Amino acid sequence: MTAATVLSWVLVTSQICLVSALVLAGMRAIRGPRAQDRVTGLDTMYVCAMLLMVVTGMRQGTHFLFEAALVIGTLGFVATTAMAKFLMRGEVIE
């Protein structure tokens, strides 16, 4: 078994695991009994989506998906911070 074969199998397995984590986080975001659970589910969803883009970029050998993952990470961080601030204080902009 060569290193390329092992890498291919690992990338496919990680993509399957990330998609299942994305689905489970989506279920938590939809069914969450509290608003904090929904925010946590959305936060987990954007992290899983970002990692899925990175793994897909590694598998395809392109760098465009890495840049998209950086944008998703930045926007997800800002959105999570805004939602947390809204839940704590009731307003985002003071």
On whether residue 5 sits in a domain, the answer given is: no
> Nearest CA to 45 among 68, 66, 20?
20
Q: Are the C-beta atoms of residues 72 and 49 closer than 8 Å to each other?
A: yes
Domain membership of residue 85 (yes or no) is: yes
- Condensed to tens digits (0 to 9), the pLDDT of residues 45-90 reads 999 999 999 999 999 998 899 999 999 999 999 998 888 888 888 7
20-24, 27-31, 63-67, 90-94: least confidently modelled range:
90-94
Asked if residue 60 belongs to a domain, the reply is yes
* Model confidence band, residue 44 (pLDDT cutoffs 50, 70, 90): very high
Residue 81, domain CATH: 1.10.287.3510
* Inside any domain, residue 94: no
The residue range of the domain holding 54 is 14-89
Q: Is residue 47 part of a domain?
A: yes
Q: What is the pTM of this model?
A: 0.86
**82 in a structural domain:** yes
Can you list the pairs that 67-75 forms with residues at least 24 positions away whose Cβ atoms lie under 8 Å?
Answer: 72/46, 73/46, 73/47, 75/46
Q: What is the reported pLDDT for 85? A: 87
- pLDDT for 86 equals 87
Contacts of 54 (CB under 8 A, 6+ apart): 65, 66, 69
Q: What is the pLDDT at residue 94? A: 66
Q: Is residue 33 part of a domain?
A: yes
In this prediction, residues 23-43 reach a mean pLDDT of 93
Residue 65: inside a domain: yes
Looking at the 3D structure of the chain, how many domains does it have?
1
